[in-house]
Every structure is written in C-alpha cells, then in structure tokens.
Structure 1
Amino acid sequence: MLKRRALLLAPLATPVLAQAQGAVAVTDLMGRAVRLPRPARRIVLTQGRHLPVLALIHPDPLSLIVGWSSDLRQANAPEYAQLRAQTPSVDQIPVIGRGPVDTISFESILTLQPDLVLLSRFTAGGPDGGLARRLDAAGIPSAVIDFFADPLGESERSLTVLGALIGREAQASAFNAYYRRRMDDVATRMAGAEPKPPILVQAHAGGTACCFSAGTGIFNGMIIAAGGRNIATDILSAQMGQLSLEFVLSTDPYVYVATGGPFGGARGGVTLGTGATAQEARESLARVVQSQGLAGLSAVRAGRAHGLWHGFNDTPAHYLAIEALARWLHPDRMRGIAPDASLAELNDRFLSIKMQGTYWVDLR
C-alpha cells in the first residue's frame, strides 16, 4: 500500500470525447488516446474495486466483466458475498491476478480477448505505464481511470471517460452533476469557517500501534474539504506515515476518526462497510480507543470520536465521507445535511449494487 501511494502522478489530461457512428474516442488520465469501434462490452478490470464505480452508471455491471483482479474478493469478503447472493455466476469470472501490477497475468488478459482493459494509475505500471504499453503493443485498448491517487481532482474526469467508453455518457454526466452539487453545498457551508478544528484520522485503526495516519494523502483532501486541519501534516510530509502516541495525546485533536473495514473486528480494528451493523461498529470502535491508549483524548471524553469506512478512499462516493467529516467538525454549519439520507439517495438514484451496511459511526 505504501508503494502504491508513493507512485508519482503523471500529468493530468482533460478528457476529450467524440462519437460518430458508434465509435468512441477519449483521452484518459495519462493523456493516452483511446479509440473503440463501439462502446465496450467485454471488459477486464485490473482493479476489482472499480466494479462499484461501474455500478454508479450501469444497471448490470457484472454483465460487462470478462475478467478481473481478485482484490475485491480478497479484501472485502462481505461485499463479495453480497455480489454472489445477487449473481451466483460472479464466481465464474476469470481472475487475472491479485491487483498489484506485478501479479497481473498479461497472458490471461490476452486469452480473454477483451475489447477494453480498465487500468488505474497504479495498475497501469507506474508513471511509465508499463502494462498500458504492453496492451497497446498487443492491440488491446486500455484506459486509465483513477479514484484513489487524487479523488477530489480526478473522480469526475474518470467517470466521464468511463461513461463514454461503455456508452453511458448521460448517466455519467447525471452522477457528476449530482456529485458536484453535493460537494459545492459543503464548500459553501464551510466558506469562512474559522478556526479549522484539528482532527486526527487514524487509518486502519487498531491494526497497528497508534497512530498510522494520512499525511498529504487522500484523507487529507477530504479533511480540508470538510473544513478541518489535519494534525498529521505537522509531522508527515509523505502521503501516509506513523505518528507517535505521545504526539497525538499532546496535540489533543478536537475530533478523532478511526477508519475501518470488513475485517476490522477480527484484526483488532473497527468493523465497517457492507453488512456491518451500527452496534458492532460502535463496539469495535470503543475497543480500538481503549487498546490504542486514546481514551484520555478530549475528543473521546466529549463525544467527538467516530469511525469511518476506509473504502471511501477509492470511490466517487467519497463525498459521503466529506459530509460526515464536516458534520463532526462543524455541526452548526451542516444542519439539514444527514449522511444517512445522502446514502439512501445514492442507492435510490444511482447504484445498481447497493451500499448496504454501516459506513460511519459515533462512539456515543
């Protein structure tokens, strides 16, 4: 994960779209021209976690997938179980690797004869795009989209590219317009909010000693958008890194947030995500606070300690995390905004694979 976050980002490119007689032409995030004779119907995902992104704009995204990485199956068993319950044939989708670019089988991709391979900045093979170049040489179209490296800056463009590639431009445009309204609403509410309350977001809390945190990385952008000040940036110049317990206790952030996921409880962390109940999320958060030596924080004593699903770091649905963070940091400015209602609206209006579980929780 650290290696992934340390990858240098290629220069950003604005998607350029054109369609004629069913043909598709886009410019992906790495500035590569991608041309298809028609919208893609046989797709290989080099990141299985891009399936929920497809579910934002397609009514049956699994019908497009002819091969994928096993990262979704391995890292999120409850979500995969939900997929299997809805579509048992999901087990028959060929696996091309585990997700890191050095595990992906290029030969397996060739065998599947896809009309499109979806890459991320990570699986493209680093700044030089190694896997992307091999696919180009083999005559297999591929496109780089990304919701992890710079989610606030690249999610809308990535979804625009994806929508064009699968013939769902209108649906991508509709979601992007909705996303922009939600983001702009929070930005308007946060305008002029001073001071910026200090906050600690402890990543994968409880899995390691206190406190692994986001420095300049993904969650930092969400904190800024939510009107907060990330205490980790006082120490960390990298995207992620370790803070000492002494630093955290002496800084005493106004709000404490622990991120968690499907295996949180088993690994000593916070249980959140698909299938998680509010009770087990809250109980696991309480255990983390105690085991990490954080019970003395004023945020914990005053009821400003919370849990947040770590998976928000790689999905356009991260606006839900920003709403939750802003509500914890500035409850007076966020009156009328309820993340639970926002999630229900997302499920109702867009997602064909629903988000069903607990994605944030208050310690109290």
Structure 2
Amino acid sequence: MTRHLWKQLALGATLALSALGAWAAPSTIEDVLGRKLTLELPAQRVLLGFYVEDYFAVGGDKAFDRLVGLSRGWFVKSRPAVWEQYATARPTLRDVPDVGNVQDQSFSLEKVLATKPDVVILADWQFKALASEIPRLEAAGIPVVVVDYNAQTLERHMASTKVLGQLTGETARAQGIADGYRQVVQTIQQRIAQAKLPRPRTYIELGDKGPAEHSYTYGKNMWGAMIDLVGGDNVAAPFVKDWGPINPEQLLVAKPQVVLIAGYESVSRPDAMQMGFGVPAAEARRRLQGFAQRKGWGALPALQDGRLHGVYHGATRSLLDAAQLQYLAKALYPTLFADIDPDATYRDFYRRYLPIQPQGTFVLNGK
C-alpha cells in the first residue's frame, strides 16, 4: 500500500471519528428549576411524564418515534377522544409502554428503567412528588429534566418550550412557537394596560361534579394564574391557595362579574360540564345552563349581565392555552378584544404543529 493511500485512509478515519464525536458530544442544558444536566442531544430515547401535546408540537414528527415510555393515564382518562386521534394518526403510540401515574401512585420506576431512556422529562409537580425516587434514576445515569407549564406564567412557558426544543433538536421550531405564545400574552396585556379599566371580579370552576357540588377553583396557579395574566380579579384567591373548592356563601358575597365553568370530554355525571373534542355546542350549552340554576347564582352580576362562559380544561397548562387566554381576556374585556378569535387560534395551532385536527367545542359564550 502506498504512503499516499495510507494518508488518505488515515485522513478519512480522522474525519469519520470527528464527525461521530460532533454528533455524540454531550451538551449541557438548564431545566426550568435551574438544574444543569449533561446529555447527548437530540435525545433518541425519551420517557415523558406529562405535557404530551407540547412535546409533540415542539418535537414534530421525530418526537413520536423517539418516545419509549409515557405516563399516559391522566391524558387517556381525561381526554380519550384526543388520545384516540393521536393513536390513529401515529399508530406506534399504542405500543409505547405506560409507566403509570404519579397522581394515583401507580408510577413505576422499574417500568421506567426497563425502557432504557436517554432522558426522563417530568413536570415540576411530578419531580417534587417523586423526590425519593429521582436519585435512583440519576444513579442509573439517566438525566431527569424538569419542565413546567402548570405554573401558567409566561416565563415558565418560555423556558419549558426552550428545553423541549433542545431535547428534541428542534430549537428553531421551539423558538417560533414560543415567540407566538409571547405575542399573544403581550398583545392582551398591552391592550388592557392602555385601556386602564377596572379589573373585573372573576370566578372559574372545574365543573366535573355538576351544579350540585362546588368543585375545584384556583388560587395562584392554572386558571388562577391565567386570570392574573389577563387582568382579572380572581375572587377565589383570598380563600384558595392552589386549588380546591370555595365556600358557596363566600362566592355569593364576592359577587363575581364574570363566571367561567371549565370542562373535559370525559365526565361521569350527566350534568357535569363537558367541553372539548367531539362535544357539540348545544350539549355544552345545556350543561352550562345547569350551573346558572345554582341557589343564589341568579343574583350574581355575572349571571344578570349574561357573562357565564364555558372553557376547555384540556387546553390549560400547555402552549395550547394561548387560545384560552384570549377567550378569558375577551370574556373580561369584550370591547378590547372584539377582533380576536380564540377558537381560530386554537385550531390554527393544531394545523401548524400537530397531526390531528380538533372538532368540538372549546370556548362557549353562555348567552
């Protein structure tokens, strides 16, 4: 073999090793808790604890193929019609192992380890609930990355989207989605700040128990944080820290000027609020009007002024809640947002970033 050929082979080997090293070189990212983690990016084997649609939206088509484990119970139980659409669009999802749920304490670390993930993505609340288990994952060399859309703050939404973009290798796509979300929030807040109107007293409740029993309302996070983002005065905030029922008498005394009842697709009671995929507007309206018949509610300013609304609980704690923020803003300040179409915003997000198309009722004016 000639010296020239040896040089060519050596050069080729060096270039190949350099290319491999560039692809496999570990990267350091920072999650929403400020924890710095080192892993190879994009992650090829992902175990996802929560925020299913956000992961799909940011990661695009490849995100489905890289999913090796999923905590699917909450998503499938509360939004079965949505899950079925995703599983039809991406049949491999049906074969992704379910590792159980933190909520009902069925989350299995053994099942997680069996999937051999490159990374485990958890919601902040899951990370806290699994505090005693996290060291076992770390000891196995599996990075745990925390994201958080539950806080419903612009900062956490942006940070979480950036992290998902890094993990999936879709940083530009993530930035575009984040910029769109920021624009929605800033437009709402700028208009409200310029108008200098009084903050409407606002009440929102998850209507899963029907009119006979007051279910969860929200204090500082989820719907409560969303009310704050759009300039409302959350009447539950003085009485409910995170989430829980409010005393019915306290609510009557608070005299909310706007009332919103949130619902899922999957409900067990015939009078529970139902919203979402496959739910006809007429059925959602019928259920919403049942809440208007609660004792004492007829005297509330919100009911007297026709400001009772239905909203979709499945579109909270997610990038998809941009549309719900728009609807909240419109419900609170109708004259400021007459040109905004929240329903179109919601459907457009799916058209641009997800493989399914929503058909159903996602916002509802109870007039």
Asked if TM exceeds 0.5, the reply is yes
Rg bigger for which structure? 2
Could you say which residue in structure 2 is the equivalent of 1:334?
Answer: 337
**CA distance in 2 between partners of 1:131 and 1:292 (Å):** 47
Amino acid at match of 1:137: A
Distance 1:114 1:299, change over 3 A: same
TM superposition shift of 1:355: 3.8
Secondary structure of the structure 2 residue equivalent to 1:36: strand
Residue 139 in structure 1 maps to residue 158 in structure 2: no
TM superposition shift of 1:267: 5.5
**CA distance in 2 between partners of 1:67 and 1:362 (Å):** 39
Question: Does structure 2 conserve the Cα–Cα contact (< 8 Å) formed by 1:41 and 1:64?
Answer: yes
Residue 216 in structure 1 maps to residue 217 in structure 2: no
Deviations 1:96-135 (CA, angstroms, capped at 9, x unpaired): 1123384221111111111111111122244x84333221
**Equivalent of 1:324 in 324, 327, 331:** 327
Higher mean alpha-carbon deviation, 247-256 vs 80-89, is at: 80-89
Residue 258 in structure 1 maps to residue 264 in structure 2: no
**Equivalent of 2:280 in 272, 277, 282:** 277
Following TM superposition, where does structure 1 have runs of at least 4 consecutive aligned residues deviating by more than 6 angstroms? none
Question: Does structure 2 conserve the Cα–Cα contact (< 8 Å) formed by 1:206 and 1:288?
Answer: no
Amino acid at match of 1:57: V
Question: Does structure 2 conserve the Cα–Cα contact (< 8 Å) formed by 1:29 and 1:144?
Answer: yes
Deviations 1:268-311 (CA, angstroms, capped at 9, x unpaired): 32111222222221111112332566344332232210011112
Amino acid at match of 1:164: Q
Question: Does structure 1 conserve the Cα–Cα contact (< 8 Å) formed by 2:347 and 2:357?
Answer: no
**CA distance in 1 between partners of 2:335 and 2:349 (Å):** 24
TM superposition shift of 1:200: 0.8
Could you say which residue in structure 2 is the equivalent of 1:112?
Answer: 115
Amino acid at match of 2:156: E
**RMSD of aligned Cα (Å):** 2.2
TM superposition shift of 1:34: 1.9
- Map 1:1-364 onto structure 2 (within 5 A): 21-22=22-23, 23=25, 24-47=27-50, 50-60=51-61, 61-69=63-71, 70-100=73-103, 102-126=105-129, 129-192=131-194, 193-204=196-207, 206-207=209-210, 209-210=213-214, 212-236=216-240, 238-264=241-267, 266=269, 268-291=271-294, 294-364=297-367
Consecutive unaligned residues of structure 2, counting only runs of 5 or more, are 1-20
**CA distance in 1 between partners of 2:123 and 2:238 (Å):** 30
Secondary structure of the structure 2 residue equivalent to 1:194: coil
Deviations 1:129-165 (CA, angstroms, capped at 9, x unpaired): 4333221111112211111134433111011011011
Higher mean alpha-carbon deviation, 291-300 vs 313-322, is at: 291-300
Higher mean alpha-carbon deviation, 170-179 vs 292-301, is at: 292-301
Higher mean alpha-carbon deviation, 321-330 vs 188-197, is at: 188-197
Could you say which residue in structure 2 is the equivalent of 1:10?
Answer: none
Amino acid at match of 1:183: V
Question: Does structure 1 conserve the Cα–Cα contact (< 8 Å) formed by 2:58 and 2:164?
Answer: no
Amino acid at match of 1:52: E
Number of equivalenced pairs? 341
Secondary structure of the structure 1 residue equivalent to 2:70: strand
**CA distance in 1 between partners of 2:168 and 2:92 (Å):** 21
**CA distance in 1 between partners of 2:304 and 2:208 (Å):** 18
**CA distance in 2 between partners of 1:98 and 1:292 (Å):** 37
**CA distance in 2 between partners of 1:140 and 1:235 (Å):** 41
**CA distance in 2 between partners of 1:201 and 1:76 (Å):** 20
Could you say which residue in structure 1 is the equivalent of 2:13?
Answer: none
TM-score w.r.t. the length of structure 2 is: 0.86
Question: Does structure 2 conserve the Cα–Cα contact (< 8 Å) formed by 1:30 and 1:144?
Answer: yes
TM superposition shift of 1:205: 5.1
Deviations 1:177-235 (CA, angstroms, capped at 9, x unpaired): 11111111111111043211111111235446125311222222211222211111233
TM superposition shift of 1:312: 3.1
TM superposition shift of 1:348: 2.7
